[in-house]
Structure 1
Amino acid sequence: MEAAFDIAIVGAGMAGASLAAALCAKGVGRVLLLEAEERPGYHATGRSAAFWTESYGGPGVQPLTTASGPILRDLGVVTPRGALTLGRAGQEREVAAFAARYRAAGVEVHLLDRAEIAARVPALRGAWTCGALEPSTCDIDVAALHQHYLAEARRGGVELWCRAGLTAAERTAGGWMLTLADGRVAQAGMLVDAAGAWADGVARLAGLAPLGIAPYRRTIAQVAVAATVPDDLPLVLDVAESFYFKPESGRLWLSPHDETPSAPCDAAPEEIDVALAIDRFEQVVDWPVERVEHRWAGLRSFAPDRLPVYGFAPQDAAFFWFAGQGGFGIQTAPAAADLAARLLTGEAPGAVDPAPYDPRRFG
């Protein structure tokens, strides 16, 4: 006989795990968490260079990030880092506009001159003359946060099925009949799509129109440099969004801030993107890269308007979107999971207005 659940969540990465835990906290009974891989978090969650910074993802994402900050701090999964967004000579207006945009939303941002940014980034090259400092930015222990949510879900009675990719979703009078890659079958009253890069594919299996949630590859390289990296070096980005780098255990993690369209897959880095990351980094600081120690890539998935999608499908109230969370899904996980759990259980909105993320905005 098929196992029966109130809600089945497709995807056990950060999105699915956090939502499962939030549903348990609200007393939802039978919840099934489905994972196609051998273990949860294999794809985007396990490959993130995560940080919590309120400006990352844009103004539409900032309310989710800001609301998540106190929860992440209470969980003990963040470490102060600070973020410095740099501008070259001639980009003073762009940096000032960046600071003003987030100050208007209540984010602490300080404009810095050349001397002030050079004091925070040793060996800074002369082209960089201005910056904006976000002192509240933190590193996130992604693995600890993910395991926290999985443990909370398990304690709440959630069943986690791994190696259980969804192969068919048949609509029934009571919800869904789900067929999985390992041959198991499950019934669920509600189907939640938290499948990341595979979100549109899950919708198609359920007979629903996709929303255009597209995966993009992001590359990161861990390098050793010919310098001692200060422990208090901030996360360093540029206002044109062409790179970022941050210290990690005595090494540096670099990214060319690439967004290369990709099919949903087990993403792998391209040598050209690693070389681009190194080239852009060496244009910022006089720290020659001695060797690349590790490189990897992950997929960031965006809806057409670059905002996440949280809500019931307009075509079917038994299908719930929890997808399109780009590269900000980890830093927004607590608030996003609370918002989605409230929608699923019919509670009043909490700290974040759900309207900007409603799938009905796509018509």
Structure 2
Amino acid sequence: MVERVDFLVVGSGIAGAPAAYELAAKAKVLVVEREGAHGVHTTGRSAALYSAAYGNAAIRALTLASRPFYDAPPPGFADYPLLTPRGCLYIATAGQEAALAAIEAEAVASGVTMRRVGAAAAREICPILKDAYLVDATHEPDAMDIDVQALHHGYLRGLKTRGGEARLDAEVTGLARVGDVWVATLGDGTTVEAGTVIDAAGAWADHVAGLAGVQQIGLAPKRRTALILEAPPGTEPGPWPAVIDADEQFYFKPEAGRILASPADETPSAPCDAQPDEWDIAVCVDRIQQAAELPVRRVLRSWAGLRTFAPDRSPVIGYDVAAPGFFWLAGQGGYGVQTAPAAGRVAAALALGEAIPADVAALGVTAAMLAPGRLR
């Protein structure tokens, strides 16, 4: 028996789930996920930070446009607040002053509240920062921690409530355009016909395009490493902000009484179940210990994920003009979680042939800056 849907969303991560949720209010939607659980890869390995100063202009706009949803999700969407206060310090050592000033200026121009606090005040906010390292800092007071699981599960639960379906262990093994529909073959032999295929497959998005005979757009998966460290003895890191190096050579933030840290690596990788590399772990420890009084007796846990970028590091959201009914939703980089509410709304609007939502457009987001055609 052939199943028929309006939209077949390939990938149930933080790109596909919000778009499917939004679309399900107006259309029949099926999400197919090749893994046996949702959010196995990048979504489930996020640093879970909402920082509207983080990323390029398109990312900052989508992040700001997502804030109202985070602050007031629909009734029943989540049992607990999606955001909790954190704050974020962008810090500079000698030679990084210009980079810090650029971060602040670009963020302020986008409408983000930033406060230049200087080295002394930064050490008061985060007392483990070293006097000899720190020369300046700017503070983003509205940065937040994100409950990624609550966000992701809220979208998947809402999708079901709206009549959509998300199916696990459902890898797409074939895609062909037949007349005015796409015919997808799944790993179990199931055939699905869809008017539109939404390629939200993360690091595998170019692979899915290849299955469909659609020209790839040069997406680049890059590995990022993260680790959990013990907090310095005698400290209570809970009130500390996230700390990001001005050149993004490292970052760290409190995490359940411990410290989540990363060397902010971007190691090119094939699509895979990414694993941490011992060298990257060592680099992370070295960089952070140069900046902070953080003795590392042992690494409690480490992991890695893939952040997939388009060549210009902006998301790719829109129809492929050379492949009717094939819609790209990819290239979120490391910003997919913080931009998810706005990106999902934008994707659904464009997929339905509607204009970008007015509140998002008011922040400067256009269909052209997201369209896959810009990359060809």
TM over 0.5: yes
Residues 1:315 and 2:343 are matched in the alignment: no
Q: Distance in 2 between matches of 1:258 and 1:97?
A: 21
Q: Distance in 2 between matches of 1:173 and 1:164?
A: 24
SS in 2 for 1:168: strand
Among 302, 311, 333, the residue aligned to 1:304: 311
* Equivalences for residues 1-363 of structure 1 within 5 A: 1-25=1-25, 27-28=26-27, 30-75=28-73, 76-125=81-130, 126-227=132-233, 228-350=235-357, 351-352=360-361, 353-363=366-376
One-letter identity of the residue aligned with 1:72: Y
One-letter identity of the residue aligned with 1:24: A
Verify the 8 A CA contact 2:225 2:303 in the aligned structure 1. yes
Residue 23 (structure 1) shift: 0.6
SS in 2 for 1:274: helix
Which 4+ runs in 1 deviate beyond 6 A? none
The structure with the largest strand share of the pair is 1
Q: Distance in 2 between matches of 1:93 and 1:310?
A: 32
Verify the 8 A CA contact 2:231 2:257 in the aligned structure 1. no
Residue 348 (structure 1) shift: 2.2
The Cα offsets for residues 122-178 of structure 1, whole Å up to 9 and x where unpaired, read as 132122110110001000000000000000100111122211111100111131111
Residue 60 (structure 1) shift: 2.6
Verify the 8 A CA contact 1:68 1:335 in the aligned structure 2. yes
Q: Distance in 1 between matches of 2:193 and 2:353?
A: 22
One-letter identity of the residue aligned with 2:198: V
Q: Distance in 1 between matches of 2:101 and 2:176?
A: 53
Q: Distance in 2 between matches of 1:282 and 1:254?
A: 11
Verify the 8 A CA contact 1:64 1:332 in the aligned structure 2. yes
Residue 344 (structure 1) shift: 1.2
The Cα offsets for residues 256-295 of structure 1, whole Å up to 9 and x where unpaired, read as 0000000100110011111111111111111201221111
Residue 97 (structure 1) shift: 2.4
The Cα offsets for residues 2-24 of structure 1, whole Å up to 9 and x where unpaired, read as 11111100000111111110112
One-letter identity of the residue aligned with 1:127: Y
One-letter identity of the residue aligned with 1:203: A
Verify the 8 A CA contact 2:274 2:304 in the aligned structure 1. yes
Q: Distance in 1 between matches of 2:15 and 2:333?
A: 11
Verify the 8 A CA contact 2:231 2:237 in the aligned structure 1. no
Residue 354 (structure 1) shift: 2.4
Verify the 8 A CA contact 2:128 2:292 in the aligned structure 1. yes
RMSD: 1.1
One-letter identity of the residue aligned with 1:56: Y
The Cα offsets for residues 77-122 of structure 1, whole Å up to 9 and x where unpaired, read as 0111001000012332322222112111211011121111111111
Verify the 8 A CA contact 1:225 1:290 in the aligned structure 2. no
Task: Give the gaps of 5 or more residues in structure 1.
Answer: none
Verify the 8 A CA contact 1:226 1:290 in the aligned structure 2. no
Residue 189 (structure 1) shift: 1.0
Q: Distance in 2 between matches of 1:17 and 1:224?
A: 34
SS in 2 for 1:93: helix
**Count of equivalent residues:** 361
**Residue 95 to residue 35, structure 1, CA distance change in 2 (3 Å):** same
Matched with 2:78 is: none
Percent identity, please.
45
